[in-house]
Structure formats: structure tokens, C-alpha cells
Structure 1
């Protein structure tokens, strides 16, 4: 029997009582299938079906995260563990309660609410139960993709969640509330296990809110939480890829010859690693089936495309159009990748790969790091922005983000860095710094490293052949650089040789080394002498 329009509009699935949160909405849709969520999103005029079969939608005025609007409740129980400052900005319990009530009041005005109950963390010993309460079917589908989806039995026995997300992002915060600076606010109460979102519909705030909670809880247990991707070879060898946006973290970890464990968030325990998420969240600007075939093929029914431009007649997506934002995205379940490893767990990593896009053309395409150097570069979290990536950026700008994810840290970066160094030493992992940026000169003068060359380097790391090569030490950062790598021009391996003028290289290298030193000053008081000595060399060496 075909349901009537009235039936479709009012049916509730997996009904759940939300009165404990102060919510009194009769029509509640819990853990609906993607097909049902498509229907609700399209009927609500929030989305369309793209030609690929994915759901295409917009996130409103905010097309990226709002880190300056993130707040954490300052509670005595967690106060001493939190790295307070520009990343973790204090708010009072009273201000949190005001924003929470504002979100509840708004959600109570909605005709229908969407609930998704799922898990964060593939290791049952460290798994969190997450409940998402949202007014948008788009947000429910996004978290259906990004969290680990429960079975029918697990859903029936779900019980009380460890974290509840109240997504009232269509409704603004009151900027006159204490500690507010705008109409956007993302507020976390660690003790209450609640996240309140106001004034932004960007779905990534939910994903990173969950990660922030994991970043607080896991180090308490001696577990290292990491902003990285991970994959595994046929012999069970695991690699981790750290890197900021635009460095190739998702692209390089999605390898047709290796199984994908996850593309963004992981934890390293005494037993090995596990993915926090049940899906992937990839940038799609300039996406092509040639360079990234696995990601391109994953954009199908069930995936969520955000802020892309599509033809109004055919709904074909133009992945090169950045008129809405450079930060166009797709969210899809991890099993949309053919070689995804389910469950998403692995052994102890053999290789730790730090990716950087050095727009100054100084760093080698690949270099080997000692444990102390790994700790230094992990804390530094260097990459560079180039013209066109942000408003006002007209020339390369060095960017440092502690642990390659400062915006999501809760403890002081040294806590995570020490855990990483300890695990590298304990399990004998090899650490590498890979530059996916420029060679033969900086941005505008040299050339961007070819993806094919970078893949050859990564393949040599995975095969173990690069570890067997001869190395020499470059003079500015003390990095060990291989003298050869199969399939890669030896000239670009030693960056100074790739420049037409060696003196120009020396000037650029010394300038970048100085930027590293200045950035690290804020961590120097908590760093060991060994870590400090692992940074750029103290003397100005103009060498050939």
C-alpha cells in the first residue's frame, strides 16, 4: 500500500522519549535510513539529489568551522586538565545553561526532530555512545555517515548516551550573553556530556565536537588520540598520516593497494590503533576520477555533498567551482571505499608520516626523523597557506597547528606529544616528514611536488626500501635526507640542488628555520632539552 502524503509527513520511526532533555516534540524520527532522510531533506527544501545519487545541500552562511566561537565550561573537575587559551575558551556554567535553554526552546518549536544514536570508537573498550538531536534531516544523515552505525539490537539496547549533541544551528546565540562574541556558539560541557550548537549549520562542528571529547577522555586512560588518517598493508603493517588541510592526508591514505582504516581521527592504545569514526569527510574541490578515484566513486547514494555548485538542470556537480567556498566537502560511510578495513582497527603503526605543504620550497620531499625530532615536528604542526586559500592571503604564510590539530586539543600539546614519542620508542615505529608542497623555489617560482612522486615516496616507505637507503643530514633542520628513492628525481631530494640559485635557497631556509624557532618559544618551558635540541640548528649555516 502506498502511504498517503499525510502518512509520510507524520510517521515517526524508532520513537524515543526526549522529555528528560526538556523536549516536547511529538514527531521524532530516530535512526532513519538514508532513503527516508533524503525524503525529509528534499521535502524540506534543504537539499537536492545530485546526478551521482548523493544528497547535495548547503550549510548556510557558515561553510567551515568557527573555532573562535567554541567554548568549554570551566568546571573544577576538569579545570586543571584543560589547555586554556585561544583554543579552549572558558565559559561559565550559567552561560552554558542559557545557551542550552535557547537551543531547547528552538527545537521545541520544530514540527519534527531527527535523532541519530551511534558510536565513536571501533574499540569496544573505549567506545562512546553519542546521541544527536537536530532539526535538520541533513544533519542526521551527516552523523549517520560519520558515526559508527548501530545494529538493530544495539539500537534497542542503546541506553543512556555519553554525549548528547543539541544541534540548533539554524537559531542564533544571543551575543549579549556573557562570554559570547557573536551569534555563533559551540559549547561543550565535559561534566554534563553535552554539546550545544547555535548560529551555524556547518555539520563539521558535530564531528569535531565528538573528537574534542575523545581528546579529553583518552589521555586520561593513557591512550593517544590523534588527528590523522591510517591505512594497512597486506602484511598487516599500519601507517599513520598527520597533516593539516591541503597537505594530502585523505588523498595519500586512500591507497588502492592498502586497506583504509580511517581518514581523520584515531586513537593509539596498548593494543594498537582504532578509528574513532564510521565515515570519511573529504574535501572535493578540484576532485577528479583520475587523481582520487576511490573518493570520486564514493560520492553516490547515501553520501552528503556540502556547498558544491551543480547545474540546475542536470544536477551535475562542478568540482572546480569554488564560488560558494574552497571548503567543499563530502561525507560518506567508510565502507563506500572498496578497500576499507571493517572493523576499523589495526596493530601498532610501523610508520608515522607527517605531511606538510611547504610553500617556501625549503623542506625535502622526504626526511627521516628521530623520536625527539618527531616530537618537535608533531608539536610544531607546520604547513603553509598560499594565495587563494583564504581572504587576504597573497603570498605564502607559515601556519603552525600543534599536533596537526590544535583546534581540537584539550590538554596541553606536550601531553599528546609525549604520548606519541613514548609509543614510537616502545614499538619501534619509523617517523618521516614528507613535503607535498614546492620544490626548486617557493610558491610562484618553483613547482608543486607531483602527486605521482609523493606516492612513490610513500610506496618506498611502506615497502621498507627507503629505510635501507643512505642518508645525509641537511644543515638547517638537521633532517636525515635519503640520497635516492626509486622513481623520484634525485635532484629534488636535496632541495638546495633543485633551486637555480643556492644563495636564494639558503636565505629561504634560514627564514623558515627562524619561523619554527619563534613558534616553538611558547612550548619551550615544558619541552625537554632533547626536544628543544631536535629543532632547527642554532647557527646560521649557509652551506652547499
Structure 2
């Protein structure tokens, strides 16, 4: 989709504190942004024509450097914790002035108007002002794109300032170190300084929507992917990074609504975004053809490496980071749903990459068990992904997205529970992690088996098989599933030593119980009763 080149009324920049800008590039096309990046020597093209850049010092989000301005609007509404860190409003003004002064001195800046939320009832207009053409390309890819007619009357509700080359003075700016991402709900502004990681831009708006929609619009905001069958049957896929949200929702037999952020209203599901932001590590055409084939002209690759002497991506090379990424517009996927709307979901999948090999590859949850798992938000990191991690490490992230949730997790959980009951939605737990033992002993569940299990659910083939109850976690495990060997369906049976499985299972259950203590006072007795039995 090309965007017409439109002259930006520079005097509007004065209204937001940017007092000088000699060379403002407004609403450039992807082709122009790629050429600007190449001209500045900040990127190269790969063999398929995609732009390859490096984000610099930061190759992922920096959650300890994300702040929310603490004022009379947020003091009693934000759930202040290790992810929602308060900062005084005076520092917001200091940082904003430093960013606008920095941008005013830049030889060039790039400005883009875009919006979030595919359902026009909840549309959020956004203006992005930044010093890097490739961040502007990322914004083109990831946000929804106004038409030429819409641009003529466009009025931004939120503004994002991005200045990766500006290093802050922590003592002067009230920050932890030289980088920061600051959200002010009062001033409807996001400030990003000292980091070139593009994900800060998209997750900033996601955090904004997670604050606004549940409180003001009675819409459940969700960190999930979504797709839809030919008959309009919609499915949601919740999961933390690396569990398969993007991979499993990119099903060539179903329409992709979106891969990461959605809202659930009284009558539909809608995508917040206009693109996909997929992990690239280990990417192959055979396993993930839709994502692989989306890496073409207009796509933006981050922190990937080439095979020596070529411009061909080595997707197995994580020498810069394991968090290699690609962003591209949703319509790069051949089966994208346009517009990005779906019906009330029939099935919800909770994805976990259980590196302990404890969870079954597929199981059915009651609503109470679903709420317990949703609030827990469990997955496990494997050795090598972080310094000092030599064995699997449990990760619990409330609602499968704690770093982006300004409100108390109980708010999102309560809304989800109401919707599950009201619409009689089936909830399934899918382990995309290990079987036959923990990481280092067992092996990763085959993607083909996982796809077969999800397909069987979506085709209604898991209504008739018999189920058995997991003795500790209580979920219902099928005894058979089309396209999947029955011996892998009960994880205990896949371990060479069943007593070793029992030991590891109880150890994981105790981690669940310890993690849930922080939420116990705010949930119902029915949800507490869904805890694992040790």
C-alpha cells in the first residue's frame, strides 16, 4: 500500500514543543523510507529486498526503564509494580524538552500519522515524530494507515517522540540510566529516548490501550493473536514471547486477524495493529511459510545476520540477539482478514513453552482453571537465553502480558471470565515446549503435532474423545487426537522415569502456588480451588 506524499504543516510542530525543523519528511512511502535509511548508511537490503537494520545498544525492551507519569489521573488507577514505575511529572517536562531540542537540531526528522484499533468505534489517532527513517518505516508497518482523505482532517490524539541518539542524564531526568520510555496519560504523549529498539514504540501504544479500553470503553484488551475460519469461527491464542502466538495463528487455512494485540467487545474481536512483528530466530520456510514469505520489499528486519559473503539471512544466527525480529504490514500475509475484525471467539488457546516437560501438549480447562492459568501466565525460559541460566527457568507474567498492563491484573481477568461464561467459550492449554523429560533430556514437541491438535479442536473433533484428569494440575487430557500419536498426549507416559516426572511436576506446582500468593486476596474461591494439588 503506497501512501501519497503530503506536505506537513510545520507550524503544527510548534504546538507540541518542536520549535525548529528545517527538513521534515511527512508520511513518506515505505520505498522512500528505505532509500532514506540506505542514504544515511543505517541499513542494507537482503536478497529479497527487505531492509535490514541494527537497533544498537538495545535489542529488546528495557522494562526497568519504562515509566508512567504519576499524577492525580494515574495515582489511584495504575497498578504500580516492577513494570509500572512511577515518575514525577516534572521529569516528563524535562525529558520532553530534551527530546524536542534534540529533534530540532537534527538535519532531518520523520513524521507519520497513523492510528490503532481496526474497529472504528475505538480508533486512536497517533502522530509519530522521530529521527530515524527506519523507525518511521516500523510505524508504517505496525500501525493502521489512514487514507489520503482521512489525512486531510487527521487530528492526533496521542503523540510519540522517538530520539534513539539522545542519551539522558539520569540525575537530571529522574531515570535509572540514559534510556527511557515515558507515558503520560494526562498529556497523551509517549517519550522514547536512548533506545533504538522499535518494539518500544508499539508496546507504548499497547500499554495506552490497556489503560483506556477496559476502564473507559468496557473493552477487554488482550496480548494475543487471532484468526478466523471460513465459517466465521474465531480463535484466540494467548502466550508469552516464544510460545508460538505468531506461528500458530498464521494458518494458511484460516484468515489472520492479527498476531499480537486485540480488543474483545460485546460483539466482536478487533486488531489493534496494522502489521505483524514476528520473531525470526530459527525461521524456516517449511515451518512458517507465511512469515518467511513476508520478508520482502517493505519488511524491516532487526538484528539479523547474513551468511558470510552474502546478503542472505542466517536465521539461526543469534550472535547479536536471540530476539531477532521482522515487521511487515498485515497484508503481506496472503490470508490476512481485511478489515482486521472477527466474531466472538469459539475457542481460546493458552500457549506455554513448558521447558520442564510437565504440561500435556493439549488439555481442556474449566472456566475457573482458565482464570487461574490466565492470571498465572506461565512459560519457561531455557538455558542460554539469559546469562547465568543453566537450566529451565519459570516465568510468570500475569494475563500473558504483565509488562504492558497498567491496571491490576484482576481487572483483565475479571473481564475475561465474564466473557468466557457469557459466550460459553472453550479454553485449551497447549504446551509447545518439551516432552519426554525437561530441556536437556527430553525434546521439543513437534510443531506438526501442535498444529494437528489445534486443527482438531477448531474442526470440532475434540468433542467426542475420552479425557483423563491430570492428577496435580487438574486439566482434562485427551486419550486420542487425530494426527497425533496417543502416547504423547499424557506427559507422564513420555518420561523414561515416571517418578522423575512426578517430582518435577510437584516442583512446578509449588512454583505456581508461590507465584499466585500475590493475587490470592483478589480472586474468588472458585479460582483458588483451581490451583494445582500438591
TM above 0.5, one fold? yes
Match of 2:119 among 102, 123, 147: 123
| Contact 2:245–2:259 under 8 Å retained in 1 | yes
Aligned partner of 1:387 in structure 2 is 383
| Contact 2:6–2:27 under 8 Å retained in 1 | no
The 3-state SS of whatever aligns with 1:277 is coil
Question: How far apart are the structure 2 equivalents of 1:362 and 1:307?
Answer: 33
Q: Which runs of 4+ in 1 moved over 3 A?
A: 11-16, 311-314
The CA deviation at 1:78 is 2.5
The CA deviation at 1:312 is 7.0
The CA deviation at 1:177 is 2.8
Question: How far apart are the structure 1 equivalents of 2:44 and 2:14?
Answer: 33
| Contact 2:21–2:104 under 8 Å retained in 1 | yes
The CA deviation at 1:95 is 0.8
Aligned partner of 2:108 in structure 1 is 112
Match of 1:53 among 43, 49, 52: 49
The CA deviation at 1:246 is 1.1
The question of 1:465 aligning with 2:461 is answered yes
Aligned partner of 1:223 in structure 2 is 219
| Contact 2:225–2:259 under 8 Å retained in 1 | yes
Number of residue equivalences: 527
Aligned partner of 2:486 in structure 1 is 490
Which residues in structure 2 correspond to 1:75-474 (within 5 Å)? 75-159=71-155, 161-177=156-172, 179-220=174-215, 221-311=217-307, 313-474=309-470
Which has the higher mean CA deviation after the structures are superposed, 466-475 or 259-268? 466-475
The 3-state SS of whatever aligns with 2:175 is coil
The CA deviation at 1:109 is 0.7
The question of 1:506 aligning with 2:502 is answered yes
The CA deviation at 1:488 is 1.0
Question: How far apart are the structure 1 equivalents of 2:102 and 2:183?
Answer: 18
The CA deviation at 1:229 is 0.3
The 3-state SS of whatever aligns with 2:91 is helix
Aligned partner of 1:19 in structure 2 is 14
After superposition, the CA RMSD in angstroms is: 1.2
The CA deviation at 1:13 is 4.3
The 3-state SS of whatever aligns with 1:383 is strand
Question: How far apart are the structure 1 equivalents of 2:433 and 2:505?
Answer: 14
| Contact 1:62–1:201 under 8 Å retained in 2 | yes
User: In 2 relative to 1, CA 14–312 (structure 1 residues): closer, same or farther, beyond 3 Å?
Assistant: farther
The CA deviation at 1:14 is 3.9
Question: How far apart are the structure 2 equivalents of 1:54 and 1:312?
Answer: 18
Question: How far apart are the structure 2 equivalents of 1:80 and 1:187?
Answer: 18
Aligned partner of 1:476 in structure 2 is 472
The question of 1:31 aligning with 2:27 is answered yes
The 3-state SS of whatever aligns with 1:506 is helix
Question: How big is each residue's C-alpha offset from its partner over 1:68-91, in whole Å with a ceiling of 9 and x where there is no partner?
Answer: 000001111222211101110010
Question: How far apart are the structure 1 equivalents of 2:506 and 2:70?
Answer: 41
| Contact 2:125–2:158 under 8 Å retained in 1 | yes
Gaps of 5+ in 2: none
Question: How big is each residue's C-alpha offset from its partner over 1:484-540, in whole Å with a ceiling of 9 and x where there is no partner?
Answer: 111111111111111111111110110000000000000011111111111112xx3
Question: How far apart are the structure 2 equivalents of 1:311 and 1:450?
Answer: 27
| Contact 1:27–1:113 under 8 Å retained in 2 | yes
Question: How far apart are the structure 1 equivalents of 2:464 and 2:226?
Answer: 23
Question: How far apart are the structure 2 equivalents of 1:14 and 1:41?
Answer: 20
Gaps of 5+ in 1: 1-10
Question: How far apart are the structure 1 equivalents of 2:198 and 2:470?
Answer: 43
| Contact 2:94–2:173 under 8 Å retained in 1 | no
The 3-state SS of whatever aligns with 2:256 is strand
The 3-state SS of whatever aligns with 1:102 is helix
Question: How far apart are the structure 2 equivalents of 1:316 and 1:501?
Answer: 44
Question: How far apart are the structure 2 equivalents of 1:395 and 1:452?
Answer: 26
The 3-state SS of whatever aligns with 1:101 is helix
The CA deviation at 1:311 is 4.8
Question: How far apart are the structure 2 equivalents of 1:289 and 1:13?
Answer: 41
Question: How far apart are the structure 2 equivalents of 1:63 and 1:391?
Answer: 15
The 3-state SS of whatever aligns with 1:467 is coil
Q: TM-score w.r.t. structure 1 length?
A: 0.95
The 3-state SS of whatever aligns with 2:369 is helix
Question: How far apart are the structure 2 equivalents of 1:214 and 1:468?
Answer: 40
Question: How big is each residue's C-alpha offset from its partner over 1:283-339, in whole Å with a ceiling of 9 and x where there is no partner?
Answer: 011111111111011000100001111257531111111111111100000000000
